[in-house]
Structure 1
Amino acid sequence: MVGGYVRKSKAKGSSNVSYSVTCATCDEVNILSHREVGGLTLPLLHSSHLYRVHDVHRTSITATLLSHMFSQSQGRAVKQQLRFYSSANMSVNLEGNIFVTGTNRGIGLELVKQLAEKTGKEAHIYACCREPEGTSAEALRGLATQYPGKITIIRLDMSDEDSILTAVQAVSEQIQTAGLNLLINNAAINKPDSLAQLSATGKKDMMEVYETNVAGPFLLAKLFHTLLQTAAEGHTSEGDKMSCRRAAIINISTIISSIEKCPETFAQAKMYPYRTSKAALNMLTRCQAEDFKIQNILVTAIHPGWVRTDMGGEQAPLITQDSVHGMLNVISSLSNKDSGMLLDWQGEKIPW
């Protein structure tokens, strides 16, 4: 973490507000207009505000601007913490066979991209989507071409049990005795739409969302359990130490699944089907963590942040590159103490 200061100022006789970001290490100053900072008053789903800006070196940073900043007197410096994400080529401590769902766009696509970039030659990524030959998977096919021999695209519909069985069989035939090291359940849906009120939400919406967001990950973990166990047994020298290099399941969850935090987050995103399905996914995570710990298989749920995707919307402050960068750093560092937990993309624990 790098300390810094954010100063809010307003020129006399002008309605324009600007923000200067000063690096506490090199004292470089960058002046940002309100438009460049973007949406400083947008309410987020947690108590602090995250914003993506660029310093004078064009290094990507995310600044946590505490809400009390806006009540400070004009010109008073407020100390902040700035997290740098300049190491685009930084490797991650992951290896072996990695299976990722929902990879044709958004977070899933970025997961495949960064995993391909940052893992070694021994890693192989099985990237899943519903229509591998469709126009929606064009970017994914481009990645497979860019990294020949490292990415295999698998057809998978998380709401279709036959599709899940076929995908598992196809991957099992390729992996054989090597085992599956990491399963990332990223695919998820929300219905009827992100802003739907209770009156617009029906039983069908609830059931379809639950089928994809909970039953799908349940079946994948069940069917891949033997391969995960094989991978875990291949690291016997590590004793009972768990890690995502060894054997792990990562369930992509959300902060709005937290029952404790519901009073804070409900007004901004009611989303009955999505919220309840992700709360169920959290319980699935906890159950699997208890069930699989004797085999040294780690199971953790991760909130990726409020990300600018089709579901997150354009108003979201976090871009997929930064979210995935953070998640992969967290995933690389997980150990026994993190199994059965709900963490955010920066590794902070979220209450159930």
Structure 2
Amino acid sequence: MTTVLVIGASRGIGLELVRQYREAGDRVIATARDDAGLSALRDQGAHALQVDVANPASVSGLSWLLDGEKLDVALYVAGVMDRAGATTPPTQQAFDHVMHTNVLGLMQVIPQVLPMVEEAGGVFGALSSSMSQIASVPGSNAWLYRVSKAALNMVVASARFDYPRARLVALDPGWVQTDMGGATAPLSLADSVTGLRAAIASITSDDNGHLIHHDGRRAAHW
């Protein structure tokens, strides 16, 4: 049986990943910050763990909670948005909130989880965005979010060298109808996650360190 870990799974893309992987018959371990999130995960049949990726003390116990696991797929989905453009300097609080969740949490998770992914010869994916791509950036909106996802891409591209028996990628879910993406987004939650699961299943060692879109396209540039 395939074992899947979803970090940051209480709602949106994370919860839909849990739902679809469970529907496919996979064993799913998933994390949430609070009781409501944990309850939603249990309702989907996942083994729920309480972890707040923005809190280093909370993340530090993850490897202990996962002791003995072999992870075929591990996904870092946790993320927050800041929509301000470059005419508005971010406050220290806003910067810390976005960067702690989107980048620091990932950097703390990787050393704890990747040995378990290596044990299974599995895939580790971190949820990025097409908004992370520097060469094709169209505007300054959400500049702090863009910076955080560009940093996330570098985390993945760098970390792959220390875990050669795993496949590490950044994943672009597209512009999705979630609380973050908004109701006018062109991509439904179910379609995004269906595409992501197919893309994850297609990943080979040649994809290591790359950005992969929900429809399976490999990004030509960062």
TM range (shorter): over 0.9
1:205 aligns with 2:94: yes
- Deviation of 1:276 after TM superposition, in Å, equals 0.5
User: 2:89 and 2:210 mapped to 1: Cα distance?
Assistant: 33
1:188–1:114 Cα change, 3 Å: same
**Normalised TM-score (structure 2):** 0.92
- Aligned residue for 2:20, secondary structure, equals helix
1:187 aligns with 2:78: yes
The answer to whether the 8 Å contact 2:31/2:38 transfers is no
| Paired position in structure 1 for 2:17 | 111
Provide structure 1 residue ranges, at least 5 long, that are not aligned to the other structure.
1-94, 145-150, 232-245
The answer to whether the 8 Å contact 2:175/2:181 transfers is yes
Bigger relative CO (Cα 8 Å, ≥ 6 apart) = 2
Structure of larger gyration radius = 1
- Deviation of 1:273 after TM superposition, in Å, equals 1.7
- Deviation of 1:108 after TM superposition, in Å, equals 0.4
1:215 aligns with 2:215: no
| Paired position in structure 1 for 2:61 | 166
1:316 aligns with 2:185: yes
1:318–1:195 Cα change, 3 Å: farther
User: 2:186 and 2:39 mapped to 1: Cα distance?
Assistant: 26
| Paired position in structure 2 for 1:91 | none
| Paired position in structure 2 for 1:334 | 203
- Aligned residue for 1:318, secondary structure, equals coil
Instruction: Give 1:131-150 correspondences, 5 Å limit.
Output: 131=34, 133-134=35-36, 136-144=37-45
- Aligned residue for 1:159, secondary structure, equals coil
- Deviation of 1:97 after TM superposition, in Å, equals 2.4
1:253 aligns with 2:128: yes
Residue among 133, 137, 154 paired with 1:283? 154
Letter in 2 for 1:282: N
User: 2:7 and 2:14 mapped to 1: Cα distance?
Assistant: 7
The answer to whether the 8 Å contact 1:103/1:112 transfers is yes
User: 1:195 and 1:309 mapped to 2: Cα distance?
Assistant: 19
User: 2:29 and 2:87 mapped to 1: Cα distance?
Assistant: 37
Name the structure with the higher helix share.
2
1:230 aligns with 2:115: no
| Paired position in structure 2 for 1:156 | 51
Letter in 2 for 1:330: A
The answer to whether the 8 Å contact 2:6/2:77 transfers is yes
User: 2:148 and 2:207 mapped to 1: Cα distance?
Assistant: 22
The answer to whether the 8 Å contact 1:198/1:272 transfers is no
User: 2:91 and 2:85 mapped to 1: Cα distance?
Assistant: 10
**Normalised TM-score (structure 1):** 0.59
User: 2:70 and 2:22 mapped to 1: Cα distance?
Assistant: 19
Instruction: Give 1:255-270 correspondences, 5 Å limit.
Output: 255-262=130-137, 264=138, 266=139, 270=141
The answer to whether the 8 Å contact 2:84/2:143 transfers is no
- Alignment size in residue pairs: 221
Name the structure with the higher strand share.
1
1:195–1:313 Cα change, 3 Å: farther
- Deviation of 1:202 after TM superposition, in Å, equals 1.5
Provide structure 2 residue ranges, at least 5 long, that are not aligned to the other structure.
none
The answer to whether the 8 Å contact 1:250/1:301 transfers is yes
